[in-house]
Amino acid sequence: MKSPPTPRPRRALQGAPAPAARSGASRNPASAPAGRGEAATVESTVGNTPLVRLQRMGASGRGNVLLAKLEGNNPGGSVKDRPALSMIRRAQERGEIQPGDRLIEATSGNTGIALAMIAAMRGFRMTLIMPDNLSAERRAPMRAYGAELILTPASMGGMEYARDLAQQMQARGEGKVLDQFANPDNPRAHYETTGPELWRDTQGAITHFVSSMGTTGTIMGVSRFLKEKNARIQIIGAQPAEGSQIPGIRKWADAYLPKIYDASRVDRIEYVTQTEAENMARRMAAEEGIFGGISSGGALAIALRIAAEAERAVIVFVVCDRGDRYLSTNVFG
């Protein structure tokens, strides 16, 4: 596939200090305040995650900058805190739900944890439906936040079966499905927060954005915002290669393709194998000190491909969650 032309980055970032660890933080550690002050609620700590420049990986002498967006620093531990808060808050503001109601969602892990956290804070009952072959580290936090967890046999169809069951429960009047796959408040969260953060923290110099594709909420919302700022910014989606199973990255059958997905918002799709994703997740921890999940390793693999072909590019990839959610999979030894 012939690569699209690399957008010319604004020169402000070239040779400049690495982006601040968190928006609003001093670039000079010596002048940083002693503390961050009190946060009004846990919800108020969602977003404004660090954007970190890689120091060892991707140093090819081509003048590129690779930046990792550390979404594991959200209070619930993943990028899914953003849409979870957006979906519940917006539905509550519209009067569609009220404290005490039961919410239902099919999840592969991170969205469920995030929804359970927000539901606990706002007084909702939460039922989560999850295939039983997913890591135990993702189940425990859901239960800790008080959610009811329904495990479905993976042999029945995995996430597709879980999604169907959620809709059946709603039809029986057992609660309201938030439906991250069709809910516009999912990409809206990234249009209103993640995209603006990336534009601000790169000083408008971002040329490429790489994200894994599951519900596609992250890539849809960020793409919409960044393209409004600079239509030449390249949006690259990561999908699993044939035969690969990577938590957090999915290639859906047409019948289950997320309704929020708009193919016109993605310039390029790159495929990554499970082995590549796992190897990169291990390297990211060992060489950069970033302990990200397996899908984050997949996004990094693709970011490095882009860095090998581009010059003077500012490439941002999303570290969707933390590696400690995958310890039982033995990916990290």
Residue 3 domain-assigned? no
Task: Tell me which residue range forms the domain holding 127.
Answer: 81-177
Q: Are residues 143 and 118 in the same domain?
A: yes
Are residues 132 and 169 part of one domain?
Answer: yes
Radius of gyration of the chain (CA): 19
Q: Is residue 150 a part of any domain in this protein?
A: yes
Asked which of 177, 200, 224 is the last residue of a domain, the reply is 177
The answer as to whether 308 is a domain residue is yes
| Active-site residue, 80 included | yes
The pLDDT of residue 172 is 98
Residue 6 in any domain: the answer is no
DSSP state of 88: H
pLDDT of residue 129: 97
Name the residue type at position 260: I
Does one domain contain both 104 and 16? no
The question of whether 295 is a catalytic residue gets the answer: yes
pTM for this predicted structure: 0.88
CA angle, 56 as apex, 54 and 61 as ends, to 5°? 95
Same domain (yes/no): 196, 53:
yes
Q: Are residues 114 and 166 in the same domain?
A: yes
- Report the number of distinct structural domains present in the chain: 2
Residue after which a domain boundary falls, among 134, 155, 177: 177
Let me know if residue 2 belongs to a domain. no
pLDDT recorded at residue 33 = 40
DSSP structure class, residue 5: P
* Residue stretches of the chain with pLDDT short of 50: 1-5, 8-12, 15-34
Task: Tell me 256's DSSP state.
Answer: G
Q: Do 47 and 98 share a structural domain?
A: no
Query: Do 160 and 233 reside in the same domain of the chain?
Result: no
Do 210 and 273 belong together in one domain? yes
DSSP code of residue 2 = P
pLDDT value of position 58:
78
CATH number of the structural domain spanning residue 270: 3.40.50.1100
Tokens for 182, please give them: 């069709």
pLDDT for 9: 44
Q: Write the pLDDT tens digit of every residue in 101-146.
A: 999 999 988 999 999 999 999 999 999 999 998 878 889 999 999 9
Q: Note the pLDDT of residue 26.
A: 34
User: Which of these three, 177, 210, 245, is where a domain ends?
Assistant: 177
In a domain, 184, yes or no: no
Q: How many CB atoms lie within 10 A of CB 253?
A: 8
**Within a domain: 49:** yes
Selecting among 80, 86, 211, 296, the annotated active-site residue is: 80
State the catalytic residue, choosing from 78, 108, 244, 295.
Answer: 295
Sign of the four-CA dihedral 286, 287, 292, 296: negative
Q: Are residues 68 and 199 in the same domain?
A: yes
Asked, for residue 59, whether it belongs to a domain, the answer is: yes
* Domain shared by 288 and 215, yes or no: yes
Same domain, 229 and 167: no
Whether residue 115 sits in one domain with residue 261: no
Q: Tell me how far apart the alpha carbons of residues 55 and 66 are, in angstroms, rounded to a whole number.
A: 9
From the CB of residue 230, how many other CB atoms can be counted at a distance below 10 Å?
15
